[in-house]
Amino acid sequence: MSLPLIDRASDYMPLARERLDEATWRYLQDGDGTGNEHALSEVRLMPRPLSAVAGGHTRLRLFGQDLAHPFLLAPVAYQRLFHADGEVATAMAAAAQGGQQLISSLASTDIQTIVQAAVEGGGLAPWFQLYWQRDRQRTQRLLRKAVDAGCSAIVFTVDAPVKLATMRLPADIRAVNLEAEAHAAVPVEGGSLVFDGWMVQAPTWDDVAWLRAQTTLPLLIKGVLHPDDAMRALDLGCDGVVVSNHGGRVLEGAALSLAALPRVVARVAGRAPVLFDSGVRGGRDALVAMAHGAAAVLLGRPYIWGLASHGALGVAHVIRLMRDELEMTMALTGCATLADVTAQVLDAGQPL
Through-space distance between the first and last CA atoms of the chain, rounded to whole angstroms:
44
Q: What is the pLDDT of residues 295-351, one digit of tens each?
A: 999 999 999 999 999 999 999 999 999 999 999 999 999 999 999 999 999 987 665
Predicted confidence at residue 178, as pLDDT, reads 96
pLDDT at 293 over 50: yes
Most confident of 7-11, 58-62, 245-249: 58-62
Residue with the larger pLDDT of the pair 84 and 194: 84
pLDDT at 196: 46
CB half-sphere exposure, 191, CA atoms < 13 A: 13
Does 127 reside within a domain?
yes
Write down the pTM of the prediction: 0.92
Say how many C-beta atoms besides its own lie within 10 A of residue 53's C-beta. 17
Kindly tell me the sign of the dihedral angle through the C-alpha atoms of 169, 280, 7, 124: negative
- 15 CB neighbour count, 10 Å cutoff: 17
Reported confidence tier of residue 157, pLDDT bands at 50, 70, 90: very high
Does position 33 have pLDDT exceeding 60, yes or no? no
CATH number at residue 190: 3.20.20.70
The per-residue pLDDT for 253 is: 72
Residue 4 lies in a domain: no
Q: How many domains is the chain built from?
A: 1
Examine residue 154 and state whether it is found in any structural domain, yes or no: no
Least confident interval from 53-57, 105-109, 253-257: 253-257
**How high is the pLDDT of residue 180?**
80
* Weakest mean pLDDT among 5-14, 65-74, 94-103, 311-320: 5-14
Domain annotation covers residue 3: no
Query: Which pLDDT band, with edges at 50, 70 and 90, does 255 fall under?
Result: confident
Q: Write the DSSP symbol of residue 237.
A: T
* In a domain? residue 2: no
Instruction: Report pLDDT for 44.
Output: 96
Share above pLDDT 70 across residues of the chain, in percent, rounded to a whole number:
88
29 part of a folded domain: yes
Higher per-residue confidence, 201 vs 100: 100
What's the number of CA atoms in the CB half-sphere (13 Å) around residue 244?
30
Mean pLDDT over residues 228-245, rounded? 97
- Of 161 and 157, the one with more pLDDT: 157
* DSSP-based three-state secondary structure for 61: strand
Which band of pLDDT confidence, cut at 50, 70 and 90, is reported for residue 109? very high
Report the DSSP beta bridge partners of residue 157.
Answer: 222
**pLDDT tens, position by position, 80-107:** 999 999 999 999 999 999 999 999 999 9
27 occurs within a structural domain:
yes
Catalytic residue among 246, 292, 310, 317: 246
Model confidence at 270: pLDDT above 50:
yes
Three-state secondary structure along 102-133?
A: EECCCCCCCHHHHHHHHHHCCCCCCEEEECCC
State the average pLDDT over residues 183-188. Answer: 55
Share of the chain above pLDDT 90, in %: 80
For the question of residue 246 being annotated catalytic, the response is yes
20: containing domain: 9-48+56-147+163-345
Q: pLDDT at position 31, please?
A: 66
Which range among 104-118, 173-187, 233-247 shows the weakest confidence by mean pLDDT? 173-187
Q: What is the pLDDT of residues 115-149, one digit of tens each?
A: 999 999 999 999 999 999 989 999 999 999 999 99
**Other CB atoms within 10 Å distance of the CB of residue 288:** 28
324 domain residue, yes or no = yes
CA distance 249 to 320: 27
What's the mean pLDDT when you consider all of the chain?
91
Nearest residue to 236 via CA among 266, 206, 272: 206
pLDDT over threshold 90, residue 56? yes
Average pLDDT over residues 205-232: 97
